[in-house]
Structure 1
């Protein structure tokens, strides 16, 4: 029996999985067969673009085959991933679901094989020309409403945001994609990118949410116009309850800033400068809400990375008026942009403008409180921006009758009692600052004298001595393994570790002559200084012992090898400080110790938040600017909750009938009291007059009602 001979080329052409296996084993030997399939793919692709339903199955098989062996022939398949992505982006609405699934699966496989990267931006390279919104793409100038550019950029931003939210892409590359969108000429793309960093919903989602939430005023108006029925009342109550619930959920979701994204920004200084340039150059082009979004993001970047973009304060000063729309959000942006490295000269005009516009008798108490709170938030970050005469005028508002104004002024006074009591008058400094000798704090750019010891280090030394005493008097030797274990879980700077990896460099005493110390003074001056130093040492020996006792005690940990403390030691030191302050407060210490305890706890919380990427304490909210306000009018749910709370523990509520059935009779009802009234008191009442003027029909109705009540009883 003879066997039919099948040619090798025909066998490989009809069996793509077999050819795929052979190509992976020896790509060079089967390159001709691959090119044959590649040409077949090119011809079917052209047919597929004209008619997607024709030969779709074979087209999907060829795509899967080429994607599997693309890494074997990188030059021939260089444009293959771009064609797949272009086919998805341009013809996604006309493609078969199976074809779309195949295209996406093969793109993911190419990414997993490192044939392509995850980031491929399109439509992000536009720039705005003029205030009319012209867009330049490459060398061609087109209108800013170019749909293709906007769709491509919006698709990239939305995709990056969704992958960030799901935790798939959570690195700096994803943040760089959205950062490019912050400078896109299309306002929609820019707004979506800004909302990503601010942690709120996109503009499109907010509009859709507003469409879902019904208009309460329209519902009440419809109820007044239409016929009132029981079913319509129930439907209205149900709709209003749903609207309140949706509004609360929306407000709760939009209050979580995206702190990790701010930390992962590449070159924050350049990003902030471009953001400010975009804000100031196209000021007339953007709406107020969009400009506030730019201000909020710029201020958070400046505060998180301690940037100095001084033009921002000249720009924002024109918006600092009490009648400006959304002024609380603008004041929040101003406060968030200030930090300890901001020059006070740039902030002094801003503080003066807020005081002139907000803090004077011609405005309401809420405006004054907002102005004082915003000044306090700015001065808390940079105390030297305040002028002494202006501070004296502002703290006089602590005598105001309004609670919000009084609280805001007292907060400003308490701030300067702590940071710089020298700017206050003697009677306003408080007990602690008055008893202290150091009233004037170092000016901006200056520091205190050199540190002799670490504050609270004696607590750590006492803790170690206690541990040694518990070890039956045997010394606790800290070996190298324990020292390495103390650094576990803490990040070490790579540059520092690399530079210090070789250890200390030993310098022999024989090479002392080779060491040259550059000094402009001559030898006679040096001899004079050494003589003065010797005389000073001799005079110290003859000084009384009181002078020696005034020298602060230095902990032994600061003068030994153990003074190289690990991060775990500093964390333990902070806990020991908190424990000592807590015990002092429980023993009846004064308000200064309480404030110190609060500061230590706040510092510990700040360190933990910074390690976890949470920068919430560095930012302020509109409630911090507005301050404590009067209680707003309660809505229906709050009133019903109050009513239910008042009914707890009561047997009866509502009507007072049946009180005589109790074991202890209570007072009579109003109806019983009306029966016992004298006749002359009720002759002129409307009830008696109405009976005289009642018609026969009304008398019949009353009689029938009386009979029915008698039958029921």
Structure 2
């Protein structure tokens, strides 16, 4: 009797004993279980009664649930139902305790991750406590990250993605409110799904999982793409920022957004302290780490290229964006409409889409006094590609010229107009009219540097793409020679020849005609006597490049197929080594220039075909191979520039370097050249003259920390602040300023008696001061 009373009143002691010997204390546990059920029923009727005791019982049951799984099988369901059904009537302490209890049950493997997340997801938009909301968010992210740590947990991912889809879809049938002026709430929008809180949390969590690299498949992108069409503007904005690579809200991160160390301060400290080898190594390691983190942060601010590439049915996605932009033009603010324009233009440019209504819509914004006009011009230029019909672009180019390029506007406006026309024509040269081009080229004689640079840029562009539209004296030497030889630009929609190879693999390459990748690999084999690093393991070559999808789980049993996906290793290496000298000699003979192709020996052409077939037609190149090929192309382009290849070689090198820096998942790198910035439109600008407000702000900044119209000299290092005396000022005067003063001249003319009197007075003063 005494034992039962003691254990009933001391739950921690009973918990300790049960964990040591569950069968021996089963009777006491059942007694507490019945007591828990009674208290739970009372608590459901009146949550304020016995709340503290109920929390203690729930915590006790969760601690010993794994000892009696059969008896406590209903415990997680009861806690989950209590949270979901009576969340509004529970006290903050009770809510936090019940959530922590569910997390404890998950950590003890009493419940699955899906069961836990099915309860936590609906709580996020309902909770008002910032600490509890942050705890739930961390729990969700850490649980999904742990489940996908070793390999992709496709079952859990599919279940969670279905929940996130549902959170967004539940509010899709609401009325589009917009964000112009004050954000107006829809009538009767008291629920979380109607005001967008539930969908907002789904978008935020999905973005965080993508940013941390836990999810990187097409389904994740589809969730955010659905959020782009949500009726609540803030959900749209968060989804649009995801694809644009920028975040209006910076989420708190516990591992990646920490402050970077001050490298200059560390280097200064190292110079002062004792020099050691270990200290130098640590300094090098720190500098390398800081550079890597800064690079990742810079890349995170760029456009999310992989997400744009993983869009499902981009044509439909782009058409929906345009319909939403056109239909709700009066409800959205200008900033929100520019976000939609930017995403639509990048999808159009990246996937080569044609949404022709967009050009008609954007024409009403093409005025020089329009707010944020550089961003609008950037969106226009990014939407153009080689498959855009010139008939749709010609009115747009004409409108830009009429609004921006005329004597009645400033030089910056003219430069922006010419630069925007140049970017449009760079992607679709047939949109330009010959008469208009002549007028734009004439601006190269302007006195303004930005206008001159813009006009020269469009002149150089048409010297390359279509010199026939220029006047004879403006074509330049190379363009004139090309036209004399009979070369003409292809009309819209025409292609010179079908793609049969990859640049850098064939002998018809500007780098002395050699197959870059193949020769590089053969050179490594000859030097090392073995396969180059990265060729031994096919899986290692694809590591970090492939995108996980659900199809991997389904096709895992068919991995041993007849098709062998090899890395850069050449299966026909023996035969190539045998003919290596002959191949290089004939390739060198064939590398004298494309214009001499007709004079090439027949054997050289056969060798070229043979070299193409061995690499481009029998291999599946990995992304690592394409990265290596891009580096080789950059090296070859650099050599061409050093040998005096001219402007064409310099532009080729700049294009290759920009492609290398871009965050592209594809290997061809064409998507990087599609996107531009506002600086490309504005061009080089000189510093504008400061207005009155800016000058006054600079003056006030210089007066900080000092009294008004007063000098601080002589007041800083004194116990009693005071100005310097006239005698102190006289001591510090330059000699040339006092040579002609009365005091100096008087000393020179003083008699011997006057000098004796001054000396005696000085001695007396010294004696008095000494005593």
TM tier relative to shorter chain: 0.5 to 0.7
Q: What is the CA-CA distance between 1:332 and the residue it aligns to?
A: 1.8
Of residues 353, 367, 372, the one that matches 1:307 is 353
CA contact (8 A) 1:197 1:257 kept: yes
Alpha-carbon distance in structure 2 between the residues aligned to 1:466 and 1:612: 19
* 8 Å contact from structure 2 (residues 171, 230) kept in 1: yes
Counterparts of 2:20 and 2:351 in 1: how far apart (Å)? 53
Match of 1:101 in 2: 100
Whole-Å separation in 1 of the counterparts to 2:342 and 2:70: 46
Give the corresponding residue for 2:497: 449
Match of 1:341 in 2: 387
What are the equivalent positions in structure 2 for 1:148-547 lying under 5 Å apart?
148=192, 149-150=194-195, 151-165=197-211, 172-202=218-248, 256-436=302-482, 437=485, 439-450=487-498, 457-458=506-507, 459-461=513-515, 501-502=561-562
Alignment match, 2:55: 56
Deviation of 1:343 after TM superposition, in Å, equals 2.9
Shift of residue 673 of structure 1?
A: 9.2
1:554 paired with 2:605, answer yes
After TM superposition, give the deviation of residue 319 of structure 1 in Å: 1.3
Q: Deviations over 1:442-485 (max 9, x none)?
A: 2332211356876663344599679979999999999xx86969
TM-score by length of 1: 0.61
Partner residue in 2 for 1:680:
none
1:126 paired to 2:182? no
Specify every segment of 5 or more residues in structure 2 that has no aligned partner in the other structure, as ranges.
6-12, 23-29, 119-158, 180-184, 252-296, 508-512, 565-595, 703-728, 743-771
Shift of 1:406: 1.3
CA displacement at 1:291 relative to structure 2: 1.6
Distance 1:469 1:152, change over 3 A: closer
Match of 2:187 in 1: 143
| TM-score after normalising by structure 2 | 0.57
State the partner residue of 1:26.
none
Q: How far apart are residue 59 of structure 1 and its match?
A: 3.2
Q: Distance in 2 between matches of 1:574 and 1:59?
A: 61
Secondary structure of the equivalent of 1:422? helix
For 2:638, the equivalent position in structure 1 comes to 582
Shift in alpha-carbon separation, 1:546–1:576, aligned structure 2, 3 A: closer
| 1:621 equivalent in structure 2 | 677
Is residue 206–residue 220 contact of structure 2 (8 Å, CA) maintained in 1? yes
Within 2, Cα distance between the matches of 1:590 and 1:164?
43
Structure 1: unaligned runs, 5 residues or longer: 7-13, 24-31, 135-140, 206-250, 505-544, 643-654, 662-667, 676-713
1:601–1:174 distance in 2 versus 1, CA, 3 Å: closer
Q: CA RMSD in A?
A: 5.7
CA deviation after TM superposition for structure 1 residue 345, in Å: 2.7
Residues 1:414 and 1:132: Cα distance change in structure 2 (over 3 Å): same
1:595 is the counterpart of 2:638: no
Task: Provide the C-alpha distance between the structure 1 equivalents of 2:455 and 2:355, rounded to a whole number of angstroms.
Answer: 29
Separation (CA, whole Å) in 2 of partners of 1:322 and 1:549: 55
Supply the distance in 2 between the matched residues of 1:608 and 1:142 (Cα, whole angstroms).
41
Query: Aligned equivalents of 1:165 and 1:404: distance in 2?
Result: 39
Corresponding residue of 2:750: none
Secondary structure of the 1:631 match is coil
Q: 1:638 to 1:342 in 2, by over 3 A?
A: farther
Question: What SS is found at the alignment partner of 1:629?
Answer: coil
1:68 CA displacement:
9.9
Q: 1:327 to 1:482 in 2, by over 3 A?
A: same
SS in 1 for 2:605: coil
**What SS does the aligned partner of 1:143 have?**
coil
Mapped contact 1:263–1:613 kept (Cα < 8 A): no
Whole-angstrom CA distance in 2 between matches of 1:374 and 1:124: 39
Structure 1 pair 159–284 and aligned structure 2 pair: CA distance change class (3 A):
same
Work out whether residues 433 and 439 of structure 1, in 8 Å CA contact, stay in contact via their aligned partners in 2: no
CA contact (8 A) 2:167 2:199 kept: yes
1:630-664 Cα distance to aligned partner (Å, 9 max, x none):
2145889999999xxxxxxxxxxxx9996856xxx
Contact 2:177 2:232 in 1 (8 A): no
Distance 2:389 2:169 in 1: 35
Change in Cα spacing, 1:360 to 1:559, as seen in structure 2 (3 Å) is same
Cα distance, 1:355–1:261 mapped onto 2, change above 3 Å: same
Deviation at 1:375, TM superposition (A): 1.4
Mapped contact 1:394–1:409 kept (Cα < 8 A): yes
More deviation, 495-504/311-320: 495-504
Q: Residue deviations 1:319-378, cap 9 Å, x none? A: 111122221221122222223333333222222221222122222221111111111222
Equivalent-residue separation in structure 2 for 1:281 and 1:61 (angstroms): 58
* Structure 1 CA distance for aligned equivalents of residues 230 and 607 of structure 2: 59
C-alpha distance in 1 between matches for 2:474 and 2:178:
55
Inter-partner Cα distance in structure 2 for 1:613 and 1:471 = 28
Contact 2:87 2:95 in 1 (8 A): no
Contact preservation (8 Å) 2:178, 2:332: no
More divergent stretch after superposition (46-55 vs 433-442): 46-55
The answer to whether the 8 Å contact 2:450/2:685 transfers is yes
Alpha-carbon separation, structure 1, partners of 2:671 and 2:69: 45
The 3 A distance-change label for structure 1 pair 169 and 440 is same
Q: Give the 3-state SS of the residue equivalent to 1:334 in structure 2.
A: helix
Q: Distance in 2 between matches of 1:252 and 1:318?
A: 34
| 8 Å contact kept, 2:76–2:102 | no
Instruction: Determine the C-alpha separation between the residues in 1 that align with 2:626 and 2:95.
Output: 62
Supply the distance in 1 between the matched residues of 2:501 and 2:305 (Cα, whole angstroms). 35
Change over 3 Å in CA distance of 1:39–1:575 after alignment to 2: same
Contact 1:453 1:555 in 2 (8 A): no
Which protein has the larger Cα radius of gyration, Structure 1 or Structure 2? 1
Secondary structure class of the residue paired with 2:371: coil
Superposed displacement of residue 58, structure 1: 1.7
* Residues 126-178 of structure 1: per-residue CA shift (max 9 Å, x gap): 346777679xxxxxx96275453323333433444455555555655554444
Cα shift at 1:102:
2.6
1:46 aligns with 2:44: yes
SS at match of 2:435: helix
Q: Which shifted more, 320-329 or 120-129?
A: 120-129
